[in-house]
Chain A
Amino acid sequence: GESVGLHLPTLSVQEGDNSIINCAYSNSASDYFIWYKQESGKGPQFIIDIRSNMDKRQGQRVTVLLNKTVKHLSLQIAATQPGDSAVYFCAEIYTGANSKLTFGKGITLSVRP
């Protein structure tokens, strides 16, 4: 029979605008969070991380916000560029023994010229 794969949600943004990519994580014990960017044909690339003792962290053109109360993580990209077009994954981990990094579903960011 035919198998139907999941299609990742897509966020379409005008070049130059700011992008906000949201993620709901599942484990309230998670204490470390990472955003990855995956371009077509490549492996995921580390963008930015944040520990649970922080609620905001800034990098170059990117900011990650963490709201532990509602288990929500967001990635803000300032002045979005065509090169930002990719799939973005959030990942969470409880950094205790034998824990594994768990990835969210992913969101496709499409930048309109």
Chain B
Amino acid sequence: SAVISQKPSRDICQRGTSLTIQCQVDSQVTMMFWYRQQPGQSLTLIATANQGSEATYESGFVIDKFPISRPNLTFSTLTVSNMSPEDSSIYLCSVGQGSGKLFFGSGTQLSVL
């Protein structure tokens, strides 16, 4: 399985600011995904990060709020823009093998004041 490094591991941010989360994988992967996990809840897919093209967003998530970059096959960033307390969540990067199985980074715990 791939080793996924995500940073920062946690942050406390002020309302109205933006935070960029980085995800680095130790091998080239085709499929990278960003998930959100709100407190005490399950995982919700934000978007699929496509290398060389725009990310594909799920219903309820938009590029202006969650811009994503995927400059190569080992790296991606997710930005949480113009944050509000409702954005307080764990944000998780994951990579897929094509079979459906996903592997996850350790996540970024975001608190917005």
Contacts and interface: CB of A to CB of B under 8 A. Distances in A.
Contact of B45 (A8, A36, A46, A100): A100
A100 B101 CA distance: 10
A43 B106 contact: yes
Interface residues of A, number: 26
Contact of A104 (B42, B45, B102, B104): B42
A76 to B, nearest CB: 20
A68 interface: no
Chain A at the B interface: SS class: loop
A6 B58 CA distance: 22
Contacts of B42: 89, 103-106
Contacts of B107: 41-43
Given A41-B109, A42-B107, A43-B107, A6 B41 contact: yes
Interface of A: 3, 5-8, 32, 34, 36, 41-46, 49, 89, 91, 93, 95, 99-101, 103-106
Interface of B: 1, 4, 6, 38-45, 48, 58, 86, 92, 94, 96, 99-107, 109
